[in-house]
Amino acid sequence: MLNAWGAGRTLLVVGGGFSGTLFALVAAAQPRVRVILIEQATRAGRGLAYGDACDPQHLLNVPVARMEVGLSPTFAQWLGDRRSDPAADLDPALDEAEGHLGSAFVGRQLFGAYLAECLETAAAAPEGALVRVRGEAVKVEKGQRPAVHLADGRRLEGDMVVLATGHLPPRPPRCRDAWFYDTPQFVADPWCWPESADLPPDAPVLLIGAGLTMVDVALKLAAQGHRGPLLAVSRHGLLPHTHLPPAQAHAGPAPAAPVLDPEAAPGPVAALRHLRAAARAAKAAGIPWQKVMDAARPRVADVWSRWTLKDKARFLRHGRTLWDVHRHRMAPRIAAGMAALLATGRLQVMAGRIHGFRRTDAGTRVSIRTQAGGVTGFDAATVVNCTGPRSDFAAIGVPVFEDLRRSGLLVPDALGLGIETRDCAVLDRFGDASRWLFALGPLTRPAWWEITAVPEIAAQVHRLAETLTAPGRTTGAAPDRAPRPSMADALRKDFLNIGAGI
């Protein structure tokens, strides 16, 4: 039976993308622990970022060494066994990295295949510590033993529930002509766009957003032979910066520590000044600014957790874009592809906002209010929403979250980043931290901010798995006003130990 595991502990994990899969693998490796991984997709383990929607030209945004997540075999070992496999196509990445696999930017599909294979191996183990259940979770029940209800009527019992649903589809930007979002000309989710291959090669396409999602879509269209004009529109019109070439990234000294000291960054303005000063000092020492940003990563959660709600809102309003373009960068080969599109004029990037839509004989006339205050137009055959994942859980109608919110067991945060947690324990309407309901990954962004990349999530996963599977851990549905010893300090150590290798 799925809800019985002798006198051991059963963990129910909702979501089989990267966060849920990694947690399931780590937790199931512990003695007397059984994990039931619930995912409605046919294949678990890949998630949105590393799944079937990725094309060969979609590369990881960090090198192989920073994609290590504490599993055996390691990602590098798994790739090493496929060096001669033509399907893996590792030669371009190895050439760029001068043969050093750990420094190579490889295809995202490869990391997805690695996770899926690790999951399949664990699920096939005779001891049955990891069980993969295909279904949609629609309700989480609090009781003497927590349970997850599936859309097909099944009810799975366990001792604790971990929400790891990852990224949700993007939300269309606010616009006076919202009717357009219901037409076939609007692509609401670029990762669910099978019609892209049938798009006329000379069709003009408008891309809403200029971040990494837009980069992926533009390069995918180009690889499919699309020759029409592409216009990317975002509020600031800024593209992501580029990672250092592998040889340069591993050469020379590192920035002087500490970078982004929490005591020196009590608010967004102070943090910006602190980073700029560190970048100037690094430049004087011949160190690229990218190394400064990388050195700051282990301290981000600690700094963010000390800011007031007003400080966080100010950062999101005025500093988020600048942070994102410096922090979430393109692999060098990806940047070269984007540079080619820009140089030939096939892609243009504009700072502005969508003002409205109007039907025309040729397609759709999109009105854009530019950053300078004027209004310009673009005739588009297709408009693609590249604004990134949605996270405003106060308005999201996903059944399992709606049910938890109505029952008061889950609270969306005030800034629309995710749900309220404390050291991954979900907070209820009274601010109490649950002893049986937990969350991982992007859901916990209100508490951690930077919790969307593999190194940060891997550190969080290992820490939570260690906590929930500890022999002395008590379970039960009664809420507990947990003390606030921050997980940030522990995460900072784990971030460096698991394989992130700053």
- Mean per-residue pLDDT, 225-245: 95
In one-letter notation, the amino acid at residue 457 is I
Residues with Cβ within 8 Å of 344's Cβ and at least 6 positions away in sequence, in order, are: none
- Mean per-residue pLDDT, 80-103: 90
In one-letter notation, the amino acid at residue 329 is R
Contact by Cβ (8 Å): 410, 433:
no
Contact by Cβ (8 Å): 15, 164:
yes
**Tens-place pLDDT, residues 368-390:** 999 888 999 999 999 999 998 88
Higher-confidence residue: 17 or 397? Answer: 17
pLDDT at 195 over 90: no
The model's pTM is 0.89
**Tens-place pLDDT, residues 167-180:** 888 888 888 899 99
Contact by Cβ (8 Å): 302, 291:
no
Q: What are phi and psi of 70, to 5 degrees?
A: 85, 20
**Tens-place pLDDT, residues 441-461:** 999 999 999 898 888 999 999
Short-list 377, 378, 435, CA closest to 409? 435
Contact by Cβ (8 Å): 305, 446:
no
Contact by Cβ (8 Å): 243, 290:
yes
Residue 92 — pLDDT band, cuts 50, 70, 90? very high
Residue 201 has what pLDDT? Answer: 92
Residue 253 has what pLDDT? Answer: 80
Higher-confidence residue: 461 or 4? Answer: 461
- Mean per-residue pLDDT, 298-317: 94
